[in-house]
Amino acid sequence: MAYFIKEIYFTLQGEGSHTGRPAIFCRFAGCNLWTGREQDREKAICQFCDTDFIGTDGPGGGTFASADELAERLHSYWPTGNEATPYIVCTGGEPLLQIDAAFIKAIHERSMIMAIETNGTKLPPAGIDWVCVSPKAGSDFKLTQGDELKLVYPQPEAMPERFAGLDFEHFYLQPMDGPNTKENTAAAVQYCLKHPQWKLSLQTHKFLGID
């Protein structure tokens, strides 16, 4: 199977449990909750997306003919001469529209760790090492277990109470970035203080000025 990749880059994980961890980002093209075109945003299921995931034209992007070819390319982004195990974050767009068993196998054959960021509308194939689920209001939410649930806050039809009982190790609120970032951040802080099951996730890469 071919894989359509918007961009590949090496940076620090900016969000959630692994904030600060060096990671190779593999951004899959395409999403099932928005076309990615500005003129379609208003009628999209997910309307607050901060990401360009259309096409394969970003840095390191392209069409990869096989799982081995993509895994090999990802591996080449890890700095040589150190002991740490390469850590890959698959995101998008929606990575579970494309990730299959062959790709997971190709990652593990090269002794790399595979994490995903997903909207939770598709069930993942077995074997992914770290699953971060970020539910979206109005979507057909299916993935009720994983390592970390990272809810963008606030979403009136997807408030934290709906997700607090699900099978995750970590529960995060991530303030919705946009015209009301400051108010959303203050509201997320207040929610966490009242409901300490939830922790705050900030998009640290945005204020660090890294990708």
Ligand X SMILES: C[S@@+](CC[C@H](N)C(=O)[O-])C[C@H]1O[C@@H](n2cnc3c(N)ncnc32)[C@H](O)[C@@H]1O
Annotated binding site for [4Fe-4S] cluster: 31, 46, 49
153: how many CB neighbours lie within 10 A of its CB?
Answer: 22
Q: Which of 49, 90, 132, 192 is catalytic?
A: 49
SS3 content of the chain, % helix, strand, coil (to 5): 25, 25, 50
132 in active site = no
Minimum CB–partner distance for residue 56 and ligand 2KA (Å): 17
Q: For residues 181-210, which are near ligand 2KA according to CB under 6 A?
A: 205
Is 94 among the residues that bind ligand SF4 (CB under 6 A)? yes
Residue 192 appears among annotated catalytic residues: no
The binder of 11, among ligand SF4, ligand 2KA, ligand X, none, by C-beta within 5 to 8 A per type, is ligand 2KA
Sheet hosting strand 199-200, strand order edge to edge: 62-64, 3-12, 22-28, 87-91, 113-118, 130-133, 145-153, 167-175, 199-200
Site residues for ligand 2KA, 10-29, by CB under 6 A, read 11-15
Residue 61 or 93 with smaller CB distance to ligand SF4? 93
Cβ contact 89:20 at 8 Å: no
Q: List interacting residues with ligand 2KA (CB under 6 A).
A: 11-15, 51, 91, 117, 205, 211
